Structure 1
Amino acid sequence: MTSDDASSKEILCYGFNQDATCLAVGLRTGYRIYTCRPFAQCFAMTDGGIGRAEMLFSSSLVALVGSGDRPAFSPRRLCLWNTKKDHSICEVNFLTAVLAVKLNRKRVAVCLKTALHVFDISDMKCLRTLETAPNPDGVMALSPNEENCHLAFPDGAKAGSSGGGGEVILYNALDLKVLNKVVACRSRVVAVSFSRDGKLLATASEQGTVIRIFTVPAAVKLYTLRRGSTSCDIYSMSFNAAATRLAVSSSTRTIHIFDVSAGGAAGGAAGRRSNSSPRQGGNSGGGEQEGDVENGGGANKNGSRPGGASDGNNASSNSNSSSGLASGFRSMVGMLPNRVTKRMQDYVDCERSFASVRLRGSAGRSICALIPAGDSGVWTGKGGGGAGKGPGGRGGDESGGQGEDEEVAREVLLVVTNEGILYSYVVDTVNGGECRLDEASSLLMDPSASQEIGSELFVPERHAPPVLAGQS
């Protein structure tokens, strides 16, 4: 993710590694690598501006592209850097600027404005060059899973539509062949993201009101997730490790978390994750019109989920009422013209977010990731990495009686903003609602002082919260 906030001119880019245990930050003077839980700086280089910095999990391999007033490398050059030995492994030059780089343990994908290059990571041999529609934002995704090594990028089949006009190509980066085509939406696709096992794909259009999730490689639509009613820019989408929840950040400064588990809190029916049983109205197409309906996402002011209740009787009553209204609504929809029917049916079938976070500060780009509570980064590059005990560390159950069930019921939402702040929120995966701010750390301050300064500037209001497993 590229930073564009005037208040953070020092930061050029920032991004999590494939399992969100580490964070790479590109600066006008170099780049830094941090572990996320606990927050700690592991590596720093100060040889010039870095506009792209992509890690390979927690290894010592980092893909770098220069940028800024004094770039470390040309914006048209990809450099693979070994942080443990602190030198370049290889460099690849291109005719135009490198817009995005993605890695897994088998492949490296490099996105230019009108082309995609697929490399074998073992010897950096170029295996295939794919011509694409004009893609100035570098929209693409590479599955972290090397067995389901899938690549997704906007299709250029529709003439005159920059970015592919709502269609996404699914490409097998191992066998070097096209797998399928996803008709994600009618407007231009601006964001795509794979689950960590490479079996699900989330897509978002430039309108930003609806997120859709498809199976891979069958391209069957499983979910339509409604972020809101007003248009916005989608900045990032990230599945959790089990692909049961999806976090979405946007220009509204609200992070939405959707439950996409079968029969989960978002109201999904059992079996939706099956390719043979897509949801009602579901197919590989996303041609339904987006937007212009009331926002039902996020938490209410009292911290509960939309339509939620404080006790089981009220919850049951609300559920029955909602079911009856939906049934009546679907009956009415059947008597309307097809064009109107598609829009209204899309509204009925949409899932709303069950948890959310409202970010502080001015509007700007942000990225998000979901990790298990108690996860800590173990970095194998130079300087070690924040393994062991501490906030979020794997230090065993020393939290004063916090049990395993409590840890399983919680996740941690990581958010990085272009102000240079890494936020950690605790997500209640059972009840949803507003996530609780647990920690805020500065990416620009001195590493030894960043924790104290971050806590002083962003002190969350706590009401005797439970302690996460591994914290002391």
Structure 2
Amino acid sequence: METTEGAGVACGADEPGLRFGCASFNQDSTSLALGTKTGYKLFSLSMVESLDCIHESAETPDVYIVERLFSSSLVVVVSAAMPQRMNIYHFKKGTEICNYSYPNNILAVKLNRQRLVVCLEDSIYIHNIKDMKLLKTLLNTPSNPSGLCALSINHSNSYLAYPGSTTIGEIIVYDANSLSTVTMIPAHDSPLAALAFNASATKVASASERGTVIRVFSVSEGLRLFEFRRGMKRYVNISSLSFSHDGQFLCASSNTETVHIFKLEQLGPSGADDAATWTAYVGKMFSAASNYLPAQVTGMMSQDRAFATVHLLSSGQRNVCTLVTIQKFPRLLVATADGQLFIYNVDPQDGGECKLAHKHRVFGVDDNKEEGTEPDGSQVTGEAQSFPSYAETAALPAAGPVTVTLTGYSEDGGTKKGEVIPEHEFAAGPVCLDDENEFPPINSCRDGTEGGQGRRS
């Protein structure tokens, strides 16, 4: 299964869950989720030398999708044993919030503070994450066997990007809040392989199946702002694209041993708005120039090479990369589907070759090994710790849904203290997302329409 977006999912087998599972970063890259043959694990990414396992579930086999909502207790899991069903859990209480079933296998799930998006091969389902109501089904979308899609994390601009063609690299940008199409961007001559939004949802990056060129477009106008050349020697399968939180850098990983970091130059002297305006002007200039200059000339005018690179210890393993600040320094993180996390130091001024700061072996060949050190000096993390299982912590009612009261949900994505939403039937008993960083609370799980079917546990 192909990976989907920048801080997306890396799967370790052509068929979901048949070998290793998956690896995914949450929306702000503060935690790592790993799916395994026996369940899933969640790790905190606050330190370089240590990797703290904050939750482990061993009740679901062959997990090939696991997505956590920011730093909340909401986690979505899809298993190869039931690939048409999405389960949503409150992992800190060990309870299932609800589950939904779909007509075909689930290929990707994306979350932000407003929406939950489920991607099938020929359709996309958009849910309201506050109550899991199905808001829209995009039927008969172009065949998308890899489940390629991207959902912006910005709470006010909830944009969804997905392929608009099976033969060329068209990007459809859809507004998941207003439920309307924003634009179609003709990005590449060959089909899309990777997509990612920046944090403010003003830019979208893309790569094609050829894997030689990465382009960045403005979301509002669809203008090409940047073009980066990954390499000309061979075609590669780009598995992950991810912007840094400040939008100044873009990283790309593939099935080769090299991870590239590109720099989006700030051309405006008086801030991001000026930079965006100037960049849009330059994009228009090159678009106009392309009408009368040879293609190879206009291409060279707008392309750039990698600002920094990383050479992985091995190649061929599916991975997902992200750029994040840990302990006040910029880092490149690369997680592989066979249970490894590589942390590299990035020089934001001079770039160049990034040095390996730490390597964590989370699971893999020595999955049952006590915590220790591998021959290459990497740390085996989390295996000696014991965590309560789903069965041990769940307190499900004997029959039927029950009535609960949940705290309210504010427009900016946080929880309003003291505000109460009227009582609703809740899927799996009293589950209250009430810790400080939780968002949003779940009101109820309803039956889906237009093909999606919700189930009350």
Q: Same fold (TM over 0.5)?
A: yes
Find the counterpart in structure 1 of residue 161 from structure 2: 152
Give 1:419 shift. 3.6
Q: Which amino acid aligns with 2:181?
A: V
Cα-to-partner distance string for 1:230-260 (whole Å, 9 max, x where unaligned): 2110000010010000010012220000001
Find the counterpart in structure 1 of residue 248 from structure 2: 244
Give 1:351 shift. 1.0
CA contact (8 A) 1:253 1:364 kept: no
CA distance in 1, matches of 2:14, 2:209: 20
CA distance in 1, matches of 2:378, 2:92: 34
Q: Which amino acid aligns with 1:413?
A: L
Give 1:32 shift. 0.5
Find the counterpart in structure 1 of residue 190 from structure 2: 187
Bigger share in strand: 2
CA distance in 2, matches of 1:83, 1:108: 17
CA contact (8 A) 1:372 1:411 kept: yes
Give 1:349 shift. 2.0
CA contact (8 A) 2:197 2:243 kept: yes
> Residue 82 of structure 1: which of 64, 79, 90 is its match?
90
Find the counterpart in structure 1 of residue 58 from structure 2: 46
CA contact (8 A) 1:272 1:279 kept: no
CA contact (8 A) 1:5 1:419 kept: no
Q: Within 5 A, what are the aligned runs for 1:125-204?
A: 125-131=133-139, 132-156=141-165, 162=166, 165-204=168-207
Any unmatched runs of 5+ in structure 1?
A: 157-161, 265-269, 286-329, 375-406, 459-472
Give 1:263 shift. 3.9
Q: Which amino acid aligns with 2:336?
A: T
Cα-to-partner distance string for 1:344-381 (whole Å, 9 max, x where unaligned): 3202321111100010124221111001141xxxxxxx
Give 1:281 shift. 5.2
Give 1:197 shift. 1.6
Find the counterpart in structure 1 of residue 340 from structure 2: 421
CA distance in 2, matches of 1:25, 1:199: 29
Cα-to-partner distance string for 1:37-71 (whole Å, 9 max, x where unaligned): 3211111111122111011011110111111xxx3
Q: Which amino acid aligns with 2:75?
A: V
Find the counterpart in structure 1 of residue 119 from structure 2: 111
Q: Which amino acid aligns with 1:65?
A: V
Find the counterpart in structure 2 of residue 412 from structure 1: 331
Percent identity of equivalent pairs: 34
Find the counterpart in structure 2 of residue 32 from structure 1: 41
Give 1:274 shift. 4.1
Indicate whether 1:357 and 2:276 are aligned.
no
**Cα 1:365–1:175, aligned 2, differ >3 Å: closer, same or farther?**
same
CA contact (8 A) 1:4 1:364 kept: no
CA contact (8 A) 2:225 2:280 kept: no
> Residue 105 of structure 2: which of 85, 97, 101 is its match?
97
> Residue 265 of structure 2: which of 258, 261, 267 is its match?
261
Give 1:28 shift. 1.0
Any unmatched runs of 5+ in structure 2?
A: 1-9, 269-273, 380-457
CA distance in 2, matches of 1:437, 1:454: 16
- RMSD (Å) for aligned C-alpha atoms: 2.6
Find the counterpart in structure 1 of residue 239 from structure 2: 235
SS at match of 2:118: strand
SS at match of 1:348: helix
Q: Which amino acid aligns with 2:322?
A: A
Find the counterpart in structure 1 of residue 29 from structure 2: 20
TM (normalized to structure 1)?
0.71
Q: Which amino acid aligns with 1:63?
A: V
Q: Which amino acid aligns with 1:107?
A: R
Give 1:3 shift. 1.1
> Residue 68 of structure 2: which of 55, 59, 75 is its match?
55
CA distance in 1, matches of 2:219, 2:372: 41
> Residue 377 of structure 2: which of 432, 452, 456 is its match?
456
Give 1:453 shift. 3.1
CA distance in 1, matches of 2:21, 2:65: 8
CA contact (8 A) 1:220 1:275 kept: no
Give 1:166 shift. 1.1
Find the counterpart in structure 2 of residue 344 from structure 1: 297
CA contact (8 A) 1:218 1:275 kept: no
Aligned length: 357
CA contact (8 A) 1:221 1:278 kept: no
CA distance in 1, matches of 2:204, 2:375: 35
SS at match of 1:372: strand
**Cα 1:169–1:454, aligned 2, differ >3 Å: closer, same or farther?**
farther
CA contact (8 A) 2:267 2:279 kept: no
Give 1:192 shift. 0.6
CA contact (8 A) 1:442 1:451 kept: no
CA distance in 2, matches of 1:225, 1:108: 31
SS at match of 2:346: strand
Cα-to-partner distance string for 1:12-53 (whole Å, 9 max, x where unaligned): 111000011101111111111111232111111111221110
CA distance in 2, matches of 1:450, 1:365: 25
CA contact (8 A) 2:361 2:378 kept: no
Cα-to-partner distance string for 1:150-185 (whole Å, 9 max, x where unaligned): 0000114xxxxx2x6211111100000001111101
> Residue 214 of structure 2: which of 192, 211, 214 is its match?
211
**Cα 1:225–1:450, aligned 2, differ >3 Å: closer, same or farther?**
farther
CA contact (8 A) 2:37 2:62 kept: yes
Cα-to-partner distance string for 1:187-207 (whole Å, 9 max, x where unaligned): 101111011121110011000
Q: Which amino acid aligns with 2:283?
A: R
Cα-to-partner distance string for 1:81-118 (whole Å, 9 max, x where unaligned): 11011111011111100000000011000000100110
CA contact (8 A) 2:46 2:326 kept: no
Q: Which amino acid aligns with 2:334?
A: V
Find the counterpart in structure 2 of residue 370 from structure 1: 323
TM (normalized to structure 2)?
0.73
Q: Which amino acid aligns with 2:56?
A: A
SS at match of 1:343: helix
Greater length-normalized contact order (CA 8 Å, ≥ 6 residues apart): 2
